Structure 1
Amino acid sequence: MASVLRAVFGYAFLVFMVRVVGRRPGKQMTPFEFVLIFFIGGLTLTFVVGDEASFTNAIGQIMTIAILHYLIAWARTKSSAFARLTDGTPLVLLEKGQWRPLAMKGMRIADDDVMASARDKELKSFDEIEYAILERNGEISIIKASEML
């Protein structure tokens, strides 16, 4: 039973740490951020596995994580407050030519990150951007100024 409780704690801790580290888009993550996420996962795995390496414990831990993940996904569909807690909310980074410095600083997003997403939509300058929004999944959505007319 102790191994199942360690698995629950390890999963919850990893979800929490990923939220704390931030939700930068995968293609904008630095090598340091990738290493950090994998390293934290490895440390948590060591904690979860502990000194008990039996097949029964492994199956119990895997099933516990699968069930916990399923329950969290189900709870997100039933409660918008819980979904906001686990996934966050979209954040406006740029609105009608005005940067939102608190949102950008809090998410560690630079204006160059926004411009990289704008270039993906073939925009060449900030003047062409009406809104830049950091979505819940970590992607930066760009709404062109011409789309708002």
Structure 2
Amino acid sequence: MAAILRAAFGYCFLIFTVRVVGRRPGKQMTPFEFVLIFFIGGLMLTAMVGDEASLTNAIGQIMTIAIMHYGIAWLRQRSPRFASMTDGTPLVLLEKGQWRIGTMFNSRITDDDVMAAARDKGLSQLAQVEYAILERNGEISIVSGDR
């Protein structure tokens, strides 16, 4: 019964913590925010099933991570340089019909991925795409143009 109560409390505590720390839709989350969510979930899970099922330790660890996240988010707002270090910068994959092969290779993006994003925007031909940009959140933005 104690494990069930710990799980219920842990769930409510995590919901509260994520609400306080910040929220964005899943498609707009940065890798930085995904790490936060998985990490605090793992900390709570360890408190539930680990050798030492201490809810106090889990809460302390999660609060530490939440405060660190808040501080880093504050720094990201104040320093564009720090923000680019934690979130990255948008990368141009296609510019006026020219593929940026090196960027695509390093990002592990194929031309099929770019064309899938173009089709999502209603474009059926490469000639209709002016720019394809890999955004910080991992989405590919398509800018159409008349060429």
TM-score band w.r.t. shorter chain: 0.5 to 0.7
Is structure 2 residue 124 aligned with structure 1 residue 121? no
**Cα deviation, residue 121, structure 1:** 1.1
Aligned to 2:6: none
- Unaligned regions of 5+ residues in structure 2, if any? 1-25, 28-34
Q: Take 2:61 and 2:77, find their aligned partners in 1: how far apart are those partners?
A: 25
Q: In 2 relative to 1, CA 51–75 (structure 1 residues): closer, same or farther, beyond 3 Å?
A: farther
**Cα deviation, residue 52, structure 1:** 3.5
Aligned to 1:70: 70
Is structure 2 residue 139 aligned with structure 1 residue 139? yes
CA contact (8 A) 2:43 2:62 kept: no
- Unaligned regions of 5+ residues in structure 1, if any? 1-24, 27-36
* Structure 1 stretches of 4+ moved >6 Å: none
Q: What is the identity, as a one-letter code, of the residue corresponding to 1:126?
A: L
Deviations 1:50-88 (A, max 9, x none): 643312101101101111111111110011111000000
Deviations 1:21-47 (A, max 9, x none): xxxx96xxxxxxxxxx9xx969x659x
Higher relative contact order (CA 8 A, sep 6+): 1
Q: Take 2:43 and 2:128, find their aligned partners in 1: how far apart are those partners?
A: 46
1:1-149 paired onto structure 2 within 5 Å: 45=43, 51-146=51-146
| SS, match of residue 137 in structure 2 | coil
> Highest Rg: 1 or 2?
2
Q: Take 2:62 and 2:107, find their aligned partners in 1: how far apart are those partners?
A: 32
Aligned to 1:31: none
Number of residues paired by the alignment?
110
| SS, match of residue 138 in structure 2 | coil
Q: Take 1:81 and 1:52, find their aligned partners in 2: how far apart are those partners?
A: 40
Q: Take 2:107 and 2:43, find their aligned partners in 1: how far apart are those partners?
A: 27
Using the size of structure 2 for normalisation, the TM-score is 0.66
Q: What is the identity, as a one-letter code, of the residue corresponding to 2:141?
A: S
**Cα deviation, residue 137, structure 1:** 1.0
CA contact (8 A) 2:132 2:142 kept: yes
